[in-house]
């Protein structure tokens, strides 16, 4: 049995392939399944968007498990922006250099001097029998003053982790997965899957939601 990752973001795919390693499921992306159709994503919360994307995969491949993530960067001094619009911030097709420049400029103009921010991730998981779960994870940090590091993707170069004095763009991928918003949400997914799969990746007994 397969688990379909409903994402076209190559950075997320790389992280999920590591995060989901060792499951009794074949982890494949929508593109691996020959689907390049972009799932809908017009909800008003991370959870709604994650469910929309996972339901899209479940509709296309109802025999398989479906997993989607909606995530983003929430900046306090910007009233939570870019938030659920992180991938479309400063224009859908703009590069991350442009998005990061735009964010730093907005923050320089913000009334509040606070640079507090967090990465948020909500994962939606759908079983072949249609049961749905959402779980979340967060990583607290600050917006750095200039980009640092070439690891990760998206906003990682300007996400500053004061306790370790590094940006998340400087983190080894294994360490990022251990502490990140995505890694934390995924730990809950692994608990769910461990409880629900028998050794063959088939749904076992229903289990209360976490």
Enzyme catalytic residues: 70
E-strand ranges in 30-157 read 65-75, 116-126, 132-143
14 binds ligand ITT (CB under 6 A): no
Binding region for ligand ITT (CB under 6 A) out of 69-77, 107-115, 124-132, 188-196: 69-77
Among 16, 65, 119, 133, binds ligand ITT (CB under 6 A): 119
Q: Say whether residue 182 binds ligand ITT (CB under 6 A).
A: yes
User: Is there binding between residue 148 and ligand ITT (CB under 6 A)?
Assistant: no
Q: Which residue has the tokens 């994870």?
A: 137
Dihedral Cα 11, 133, 49, 1, nearest 10 deg = 50
CB closer to ligand ITT, 50 vs 197: 50
The whole-angstrom separation of Cα 113 and Cα 133 is 37
Out of 180, 184, 186, 193, the residue judged to bind ligand ITT by CB under 6 A: 180
Contact (CB, 8 A) for 164 and 139: no
User: Which residues, listed in sequence order, are joined to residue 87 by a DSSP beta bridge?
Assistant: none
Q: What is the largest CA-CA distance in the chain?
A: 55
φ, ψ dihedrals at 25, nearest 5°: -140, 145
Judge whether 144 and 168 are in contact, CB under 8 Å: no
- Per CB under 6 A, does 153 bind ligand ITT? yes
What does the alpha-carbon distance between residue 187 and residue 177 come to, in Å, rounded to a whole number?
A: 10
Query: Judged by CB under 6 A, does residue 175 bind ligand ITT?
Result: no
**Residue 94 is a binding residue for ligand ITT (CB under 6 A):** no
Q: List for the chain the helix, strand, coil content (%; round to 5).
A: 35, 25, 40
* CA pair distance 76, 199, nearest whole angstrom: 44
CB of 41 to ligand ITT, least distance (A): 6
Using CB under 6 A, which of the segments 63-71, 102-110, 127-135, 141-149 binds ligand ITT? 63-71
73 contributes a contact to ligand ITT by CB under 6 A: yes
64 versus 70: smaller Cβ distance to ligand ITT: 70
Shortest reach from residue 113's CB to ligand ITT, in Å = 23
Under the rule (CB under 6 A), what is the footprint of ligand ITT?
7-9, 12, 41, 53, 69-73, 86-87, 119, 152-156, 180, 182
């Amino acid at each position: 049995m397969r688990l379909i990752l409903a994402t076209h973001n190559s950075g997320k795919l790389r992280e999920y392939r590591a995060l989901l390693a060792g499951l009794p499921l074949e982890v494949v992306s929508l593109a691996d399944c020959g689907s390049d159709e972009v799932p809908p994503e017009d909800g008003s919360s991370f959870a709604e968007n994650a469910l929309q994307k996972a339901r899209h995969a479940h509709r296309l491949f109802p025999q398989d498990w479906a997993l989607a993530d909606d995530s983003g960067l929430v900046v306090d001094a910007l009233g939570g922006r870019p938030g659920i619009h992180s991938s479309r911030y400063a224009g859908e097709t703009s590069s991350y250099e442009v998005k990061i420049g735009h964010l730093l400029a907005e923050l320089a103009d913000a009334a509040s001097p606070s640079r507090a921010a967090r990465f948020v991730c909500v994962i939606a998981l759908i079983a072949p029998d249609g049961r749905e779960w959402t779980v979340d994870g967060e990583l607290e940090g600050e917006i750095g003053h200039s980009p640092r590091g070439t690891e990760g993707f998206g906003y990682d170069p300007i996400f500053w982790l004061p306790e370790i004095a590094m940006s998340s763009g400087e983190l080894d991928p294994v360490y990022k997965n251990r502490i990140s918003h995505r890694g934390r949400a995924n730990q809950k997914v692994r608990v769910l899957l461990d409880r629900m799969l028998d050794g063959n990746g088939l749904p076992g007994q229903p289990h209360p939601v976490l």
